[in-house]
Amino acid sequence: MQKHQSPFPRIYVERTLAIIKPDAIHKSEEIEDIILTSGFTILQRRKLQLSPEQCSDFYTEHHGKLTFPKLTAYMSSGPIIALTLARDNAIAHWKNIIGPIKASDTHPECLRAKYATSELENALHGSESFHVAEREIKFMFPNTLTVPTREETEEYLSRYVNQTLLQGLTELCKHKPLNPCVWLAEWLLKNNPNKPQICDGAVAEEAE
């Protein structure tokens, strides 16, 4: 039997963090227009000024590099705009639009070539990977609800759910109750491994 495919393609929506840095803040409206016309949705927007300590925490992977003091000084020198962007393949697409750090010679059409002041003051930031994006979005927007990855979900189910559920389904097959859904729900509540169990002896001893 031939399977019928949906006429609508499945699109995996990805998130990335964009930052309009201090040297490009005066062009923020223009940059945000480019972001929107490039197919992104701006999920979150926040204008703020970071302290040198906050910059140090944000750029933790740059610790130890010779440019690190200049980087934290630059990023704390004025206000920035943090943006959570979403679209299919958002991380790679945004990195492609902003271009590399040394952009003026090799990528004259990219945003850094247009808005950057120097190699250090390079106008824009983009997350390097999925896990980096999640960390950076959480840093800039602390109240953001983080959606677990497929791997994290599978690990949680394997560790905390699957074994107990399998036992419950096995007991369900043995008892064959008239209302299997209610029976299974009650069994899972009674046999929840994360729920502390109090034996009758302990209750009787406590009452004496």
Residues annotated catalytic, as ranges: 125
What's the token pair of residue 103?
Answer: 């952009």
Residue 3, C-beta contacts closer than 8 angstroms, at least 6 positions apart:
none
